[in-house]
Amino acid sequence: MEYNGDLNEIESHIVPVDAILPPELFLIPIKSRPVFPGIITPLIVPGGKFAKAVENSLNGNSFIGLVLLIDEEHEKNTEENIYSFGVVAKILKKVNLPDGAVNILINTVRRFKVESFVAVDPLLVAGVTYPEEESGAPKNTIKAMMRTLLVMTRELAQNNPLFTEEMKLTMLNVNEPGKMADFVCSILNIEKAEYQSVIESINLKDRIEKVLLFLKKEIELVSLQREIQENIQEKIDKQQRQFFLREQLKAIQSELGLKEDKYEKKYEKFLERLKSIPADPEVIEEVEREMDKFLYTDQNTADYNVIRNYLDILESLPWEPAPSRDMDLDKAKKTLDRDHYKLDDVKERILEFLAVKKLKPAEKGSILLLVGPPGVGKTSIAKSIAESMGRKFFRFSVGGMRDEAEIKGHRRTYIGSMPGKIITALRITKEKDSVLLLDEIDKLGIGMQGDPAAALLEVLDPEQNKSFRDHYLDLPFDLSSIFFIATANTLDGISRILLDRMEVIHLSGYITDEKVQIFSKHLWKKILEKNGLDQYGLQMDKNAIVTMIDHYSRESGVRGLEKQTDKLARKIALQIVKGEKYPKAIRASDLEGFLGVPKYTDDRMTKPTVPGTALGLAWTSVGGATLLIEAVFIKGKGGILLTGMIGKSMEESSNIALSYIKNFLGSEELFADKTIHLHVPDGATPKDGPSAGITMATAILSLALGKRIKLGYGMTGELTLTGEVLAIGGLREKVVAAKRVGIHKIIFPNDNKPQLDEIPDYVKKGMEFFPVSRFQDVVRLLFDEKSAALNREPKGSPAAKKGLKKRVQAKKARRK
């Protein structure tokens, strides 16, 4: 049938799609990249409420709104996680998928803006507006920008193999500037936020400018990618050419008898060296076997480099016996005295070792363990030992080490395998009798790859390390000439079996006088040189040094003192550079201006000034310390409440102390309706050990009697239920800690007298020591003896029975 009417009448009845766009849309959030207007494309909508939104849309006007998610990983409500601008699309066709999702064919029409949400549950429905596109520039400007866009897009299409012919054809057929900008942006690989910025660009000029910028970046990226591919291809061609030339060279060398190269000569010299030593036959045989494999292995295979690395490591090791050395004990003593103040017992042990080496050069290596708090000079002592012996020194830390292969190496079957730390150290020092320092040996760990401490057992045993086998070498190597030195802060973290192989030397903390000497002789000069102040003639008087030690660095070592001195030097350096006036002679009054408010301003926590307090002496991994133990009565049902991060042993000591004092006073009623709260200040620091027993008992007794103990005393000792005072450890560290805070009267177990004799006289100078065997001796020292209750022994104790027997005998004698 033909229609003979007027065509204008038909056109007047055609309604533009823009005119039928609904004011409300079902919103479908999409990820990664938007679908730009003017594109027909399939879209898969997951099952659930968004698939239901598609069904509802088809039952209505068939339009849906596509909006980008802001954060794909975020789990907040969808309405809070979408951009406000999106693209409206007409659903042309729908296909249901087996998993509940739907595959729809859509035709995107134009941009919209979300003005409000009509509904958010169960379906997301928004009220929208459709902004009109703005030119933003004259027609000629838009036309010029359009041409530029076409030229750059064609350039990208030519250099990018991912462009299909269909894309190129579409690009040529799009004439409208806005649609052209949208199409070009849709084929670029840019960030989601950049896509969204184009969607939100209603101004045509701004939109084309953004797309031109993104297009320029894409062209540069494609150009760079092409350049990289060309370089890779050139390298591949070059490698192939070198391979063929190398094969030709091998053939020519074989014909002329010139097959030998520099590595072969090197390894042959090494083999001659082993035979001249002579080395272990097993080593020589293995080197010969590896050399044969090396000669017949292609250089381009992985095995070639594995064999060469293995032979290189063997060649770099010191297989020769340790050289004979002339031991000069006077020189060694001067070296040790020059670098370290005091530490006489350590120096004496080193000189003893050197004397034995002088009398018997064939004597094998020794293992020393230097134990002490941080900053007392353990590592520097090891360096001085190496220098005094004329040996090479190598240090490596084993703290935190969890892999056995760090000590014994990896097997050659693994990729990237290498020898252990011991063999590596000898490769560097190239001497068989080097001094090796195993730092922080108390901090070894146990991991999934084995126990490094167990691996060290073979290394440190003189009977076993004569034929030590590293897993990588798999050959016997003599370690018995090495002088091993280990350092640790405490013995607690070291395996007992490993500790049995080492000779332990304890380094206690320094007292104030020692720190003053160390500062004057070593530290001050070192800090001035470090900060470039050695030419300015700076001096510090003794009073200032003592003030710095007492008020800014009371720790056992001198590392804190070094840090404070370094801080002081930096402040002076700043004054010099600024041209300000600075003190050439630093006095105690200047320190607060440079170092701030003193850290330690008083000693009130070292004076038991009220009943229920007593001062104990403790040993820690960072040196000695003082503990002011406090006790008070609180309402309760008896017993004892403990605070202050007290460990298991200390908790048991407190219960023993309470039981003893109850028996000592012979009065259960006093404690019947009261609980004793016992606290050890500095509650954030863990504390443990039995040596606070007599201190706790003294604090409880002082509380029960309501009497303050005599001032100036510090005490340490383990208490038993019968009142015996047992020996403790770390006496020197505790004495040093007491002297550091001004305590000069020390109560200690009588069984520790031999340890007291070992403490140098200059440390004990000005101090009084009171050995005790029973708690009754402590009471007589600390309390006023007017009270008869304090002069008796607890009922049932051996001493009480003995006293009762004497009184009975005396009474019988008087009757006769």
Q: Which residues are catalytic?
A: 691, 734
Joined together, the tokens standing for residue 729 give 């450890």
Asked whether 73 and 93 are in contact (CB, 8 A), the reply is: no
What stretches of 691-767 adopt beta strand conformation (E)?
A: 713-715, 718-719, 725-726, 745-749
DSSP 296-322: TS-TTSHHHHHHHHHHHHHHHS--SPP
Do the annotations mark residue 452 as ligand-binding? Answer: no
In angstroms, what CA-CA distances link 71 with 34, 67, 231? 14, 12, 39
- Taking the C-alpha atoms of residue 141 and residue 205, their distance in angstroms, rounded to an integer, is 9
Q: Which two tokens stand for residue 610?
A: 């009220």
User: Residue 250 annotated as binding?
Assistant: no
Please state, in angstroms and rounded to a whole number, the distance separating the CA atoms of residues 608 and 614. Answer: 5
3-state SS, residue 291:
helix
DSSP bridge pairs for 619: 624
219 contacts 245 by C-beta, under 8 angstroms? no
756 exposure class (CB count in 10 Å sphere: 0-12, 13-18, 19+): middle
Q: What share of the chain is helix, strand, coil (3-state, %, to 5)?
A: 50, 20, 35
State yes or no: 372 annotated in a binding site.
yes
H helix runs in 174-301, sequence order: 177-186, 192-199, 204-256, 262-276, 281-295
Residue 520 Ramachandran class (φ > 0 left, ψ -120 to 50 alpha, else beta): alpha
What gap in Å lies between CA 308 and CA 293, rounded to an integer? 10
373 assigned ligand-binding residue: yes
Q: Which helix (H) or strand (E) holds 327?
A: none
HEC assignment per residue over 647-691: CHHHHHHHHHHHHHHHHHHCCCHHHHCEEEEEECCCCCCCECCHH
Annotate 17-30 with DSSP letters as a single string.
GGGG--SEEEEEEE
What type of residue sits at position 392? K
Q: Where does residue 766 fall: left (phi above 0), alpha (psi -120 to 50 degrees), or beta otherwise?
A: left
Does the annotation flag 476 for ligand binding?
A: no
Q: Which residues are annotated as a binding site?
A: 372-379
Q: Which residues are annotated as a binding site for ATP?
A: 372-379
